Amino acid sequence: MAIASDTAPLREVLNDKNGLLVPFFDIEQLANSVIEVLTDPPLFRSIRVQARKTILDQYDLARICLPRMMAFIQKAGLGKG
């Protein structure tokens, strides 16, 4: 499960179903979120399950990321000699 700063790049991956976003400079809320997750794991089970599903469905290295990178390289003509 991810606990991250609420910034644009992270909002593209995380939402209220697969992680926790906290305000960027709110160190106290970040610490409290970490403590809450560590002290009550069953409360966050569904978020952990969804977080793993998100990664497997959208960011799996072999099925998603490498094929996309290879297609980009080939399209850009960077894979030649």
> Residue 14: phi, psi to the nearest 5?
-95, 145
Radius of gyration for the chain, computed over Cα atoms and rounded to the nearest angstrom: 17
- pLDDT tens sequence for the chain (81 residues): 899 999 999 999 999 999 999 999 999 999 999 999 999 999 999 999 999 999 999 999 999 999 999 999 999 988 765
Amino acid type, 58: Q
| E strands in 1-81 | 2-5, 19-22
Instruction: State the pTM of this model.
Output: 0.76
The DSSP element (H or E) to which 4 belongs, if any, is strand 2-5
